[in-house]
Structure 1
Amino acid sequence: MKTLWRDLRDHLRTDFRPDLYLSIALWAALLLTVNYYVDLEDSYIDTFQGDPRWPVMYFALYATTYYVSVWLWAHFHHRPDIWRNREFWLRSGWALLCYSAYSGFYAHSEWSRQLFDGQIYVFAYYCLHNLQSALTIVLPLYVFYKLIDPYPSSFYGMAPKRKGLILYAILLGLMIPLITLASFQPDFLASYPTYHDTNANEFFDVPEWVTALVYELCYGWDFVPTELLFRGFLVIGMSRVLGRGAVLPMIVWYCAIHFGRPLGEAISSLFGGYLLGVLALSTRSIWGGLLIHIGIAWGMEIAAFLQRAGN
């Protein structure tokens, strides 16, 4: 654990510049203000749901958040060569295409109508919505890893490593009281639990906890591609180009994918994304991030379930 804290200290010593970090904070604050003031994602971008322009709108949002952040880092570190680096454009462009396709994917809606003649449409929709990342993120990243990446050492941190797992477990434990406190807030209960009774258990003639478990497993899976892309591909993979500078642009984009969530969750994603990014760079593994990410997600689900049961 001491090794990882030393790695975090070393990262800050090497990468931290007050002007850069302040500029990134102001850029993130501007994005948050615009989104939550005009409700950019929910009231505008998501009106294109099912339209071919939907993933294009997400691409524009994510490309803006990411490339402005890279520009800030390159400016303060005097690295104009980044913009002439073919590998940078290839990696960043591939990541943007993958996540924009994931965010604007809607074929699972039709699949849900066809499955069991649409009798469990809602349940199938939410399960397939979480599973579609296997097609839109994991498969494209694997193709890049096998056919394009010039440095194929491991699949972007997917190789299991024990380093740091104790620290990750401690960090997860520290989140429990915060999740408990958040579960008493109205905006939290408006978003969680993400599972809702769909009568799928009646269709399959099983207890509801069975369909809830199936849903939660699908929900948990969806965090694997998220960690793979943001901490694996955009930090471990992109560090070949940006070095330690891969972390800051990643966290601003990572914050943007939380624009449809409560404001507090979007803000906390900046700090959580930074810590997970630095530790992923240190350990060259995303397994600790998966432990925290899935643990927090399921923890929020459980807390919301308990609140609903108590009320």
Structure 2
Amino acid sequence: MGFRFGVSGVRRDRLVALVTAFSGAALVAWLWAYNMGADGTGGAWDYYDTFIVGNILALFFLPIVVIIAMGEEPSDFGLAFADSRSVRLTAALLYIGLLVLLVPMSRVERFQDYYPLFKQFNHYPIFDRYMHVHSFGEFAEHSIKALIYGWVSYGLYMFGWEFFFRGYLLFGMARTIGWSAVLVQSIAFGLLHWRKPMPEFLASFPAGIILGFLALKAKSFLPGFVLHWAAVITFDILVLLASKG
């Protein structure tokens, strides 16, 4: 049993929203320092295992502890299955729309310099070969196991990422500010894309809004997680296919 504040109704919703907002802001500030370093260029990205474990703890387990401590149900924060056919259709249509954008983006040099994503992780043995691969054929021959490992492990990180923004922050704050919570979480979401190529950084703000509306419609962050993870995998493949080497 968690600590239920001793109040109910509107007042309780306000207290839950405040705890969510302040704890969420603290975690965003910590993640900014942890992931990017003081100068915005280093941080935990230099060490893949540290990055994954640290972010899963901060993005998923700590919010779950807070939810339980408040006497709330994780399902009320989006940790639930979305069984609506309309939600699945919406997610599928969003993926198709993303694909239309991702194909030309994969041919842009600044994205090819940054992706596949695991070019960003140094000093981690399983990705050593990956750092020097430039084409899909070359990758399939030498480094496919590393890529699969990377997609699965990064998927765990993204599960926590989506739960934090489209679950914990969104549903916690929506209790008092309603749909405005979509905008608030999208701003935090966008700021943590600062290290990405500038077009992606700018696009992350509207993307956060779209994923937020999808989560509220579904009463779950899971459709957004699947969509986001699928987009990451798809873009890695498209970049490798478009690369010359």
User: Which residue of structure 1 lines up, in the alignment, with residue 173 of structure 2?
Assistant: 238
Quick one: distance in 1 between partners of 2:186 and 2:104? 25
Is 1:173 equivalent to 2:99 in the alignment? Answer: no
Which secondary structure does the structure 2 equivalent of 1:132 belong to?
helix
Per-residue deviation, residues 244-290 of structure 1 (Å, max 9, x unmatched): 22111222222111121122112221221111111211221111101
Cα drift, residue 176 of structure 1: 1.4
User: Which residue of structure 2 lines up, in the alignment, with residue 89 of structure 1?
Assistant: 18
User: Which residue of structure 1 lines up, in the alignment, with residue 69 of structure 2?
Assistant: 147
Cα 1:139–1:274, aligned 2, differ >3 Å: closer, same or farther?
same
Which secondary structure does the structure 2 equivalent of 1:220 belong to?
helix
Aligned length: 209
User: Which residue of structure 2 lines up, in the alignment, with residue 99 of structure 1?
Assistant: 28
Is 1:132 equivalent to 2:54 in the alignment? Answer: yes
Per-residue deviation, residues 21-54 of structure 1 (Å, max 9, x unmatched): xxxxxxxxxxxxxxxxxxxxxxxxxxxxxxxxxx
- Does the 8 A contact of 2:18 with 2:173 survive in 1? no
Residues 63-82 of structure 1: pairs in structure 2 closer than 5 A:
none
Quick one: distance in 2 between partners of 1:160 and 1:221? 17
Which secondary structure does the structure 2 equivalent of 1:159 belong to?
coil
Q: 5+ unaligned residues in a row in structure 1: which ranges?
A: 1-81, 107-121
Q: Please, what TM-score do these two structures have when normalized by structure 1?
A: 0.60
Q: Please, what TM-score do these two structures have when normalized by structure 2?
A: 0.75
Per-residue deviation, residues 229-251 of structure 1 (Å, max 9, x unmatched): 11111212211121122111222
Question: Which residue among 228, 231, 236 is the counterpart of 1:293?
Answer: 228
Cα drift, residue 127 of structure 1: 3.8
Quick one: distance in 2 between partners of 1:257 and 1:93? 17
Q: 5+ unaligned residues in a row in structure 2: which ranges?
A: 1-10, 36-43, 130-141
Identity %: 21
Cα 1:98–1:155, aligned 2, differ >3 Å: closer, same or farther?
farther
Cα RMSD for the two superposed structures: 2.8
Cα drift, residue 134 of structure 1: 2.0
Cα 1:127–1:213, aligned 2, differ >3 Å: closer, same or farther?
farther
- Does the 8 A contact of 2:170 with 2:182 survive in 1? yes
Cα drift, residue 155 of structure 1: 5.7
Which secondary structure does the structure 2 equivalent of 1:154 belong to?
helix
Quick one: distance in 2 between partners of 1:153 and 1:297? 26
User: Which residue of structure 2 lines up, in the alignment, with residue 16 of structure 1?
Assistant: none
User: Which residue of structure 2 lines up, in the alignment, with residue 191 of structure 1?
Assistant: 114
Cα 1:246–1:136, aligned 2, differ >3 Å: closer, same or farther?
same
User: Which residue of structure 2 lines up, in the alignment, with residue 160 of structure 1?
Assistant: 81
- Does the 8 A contact of 2:106 with 2:239 survive in 1? yes
One-letter amino acid matched to 2:159: V
One-letter amino acid matched to 2:65: V
One-letter amino acid matched to 1:138: F
User: Which residue of structure 2 lines up, in the alignment, with residue 267 of structure 1?
Assistant: 202
